[in-house]
Amino acid sequence: MSIQNHGSPRAGLAHPNPASQSIPAYSEVMEDHRAIVDALSPCAERAVLCVASAGDNVFHLQRAGAARVVAVDIDPAQIALSRWKWAAMLDLDQGDLLRLAGIAPATEAQRWGLLAALSPPELEHWPALSQRVAERGLLGCGKLAEFLEPLRAGLTATVGRATLEALILNGDPATRRAAWDALESPATVDFLAAALNETTISDAFIPAAAWPRMAEPRFHLHYLRVLRHLTLELDPTSNVFLQRLWLGGGEGGAIPAYLEREFRADLARRPDTTEWLCADLLDALEAQDPGSIDRFNLSNVLDWCEDDHHDAIWAAVARAARPGASCFLRSFLVARPPPAAVLSHWKLDGPRSERAAHDDRVGYFSRYELWRRS
């Protein structure tokens, strides 16, 4: 998910709070990196521009071998947190990394000590963010993590922890089917309707003004179908996103792939090819040399754009793109194709888009689109 652009035509580096008081919207991206890497196929000959958010997808693109990654976010707190994660992944041993992340047990004082020893970039300029990391860990310090806590607690109270564990962790399809039958009840539907609606989603996942363009206005029923697909039609037992969303991401929780030892070892062997750029997406695109970017991962930034800003971003993508470039995006809204001048040179890869929608292990977006430049 992404709330970086807010539809502003030229937001530049503006942020509603001074940096010292700012905390990020996202401390985990909660977008399936496999869909991105599969769609974009980054390699040593390719430059990628990616929405930074909490950095997770950026790390996976670099590990996949991209020659250059431009990581863009309008929120300076997101850039700061991403760089802190990067420093922790490279400099801490595995135990300390998981303690600072909030996965392994640690006191607030211990996390303060790890932060001080790590000395991440510009630590002294982010007292509010530092305090949140000390209290909740790198993966729990964002607003989305706070939003999910009562949602997780409410669903657990409605269906029971044992039902959720059987649904997500059990390798036996029959056991998961029985757990699903227990979960899919009027009480669950009522709970999700109260938790996932226009009031709770607007200005969190999409701007409030965009609600009339929601592809799935009865979002709670859409998500119930997504949850059924993830747990009964796919294998949930290795789905770290599902486990962190519904079983909790705190002490002893599932570990995101980029925090695994092997992943970190791979990153340590690679040159740092990432440029962290705090800017509005349109400004960042227009700052790139013409024909210099091979791949684009825009998350759902376009959901936050009015029509003129949407078209301007697509024009800037087309200008920055090399021949044969690809652009991957997600959306909660009804389809809004590129402007005609861009569409004449770009084509939607329908089969790959449908495959991304089917295979995505988070899955709550309404649409997945992979566009290719001819």
User: Encoding tokens for residue 174?
Assistant: 């029959």
Token pair 């790390």: residue: 59
CATH number attached to the domain at 1-78+140-374: 3.40.50
* Coil/strand/helix, residue 347: strand
Task: Output the six-digit token pair for 23.
Answer: 């905390």
Which residues, other chains included, contact 83 with Cβ-Cβ below 8 Å and sequence gap of 6+? 55, 120, 121, 276
Report the pLDDT value the prediction gives residue 271, as an integer from 0 to 100.
83
In Å, the largest CA–CA distance within the chain is: 57
Q: Which pLDDT belongs to residue 249?
A: 76
What is the C-alpha R_g of the chain?
20
Q: Where are the domains positioned within the chain?
A: 1-78+140-374
Nearest to 73 by CA among 90, 56, 88, 61: 56
> How, if at all, do strands 274-278 and 68-73 pair?
parallel
The pLDDT value given to residue 121: 67
> Strand pairing partners for 69?
48, 274
What is residue 38's predicted lDDT score, i.e. its pLDDT? 95
Contacts of 157 (CB under 8 A, 6+ apart): none
CB 87 within 8 A of CB 107: no
Distance in angstroms (rounded) separating the CA atoms of residues 147 and 8: 24
**Under DSSP, is residue 201 helix (H, G, I), strand (E, B) or coil?**
helix
Please list the ranges in the chain whose pLDDT falls under 70.
1-21, 121
pLDDT tens, residue by residue, 310-327: 999 999 999 999 999 999
pLDDT at 1 (0 to 100): 38
Spatial contact of 132 and 141, defined as CB atoms under 8 Å apart: yes
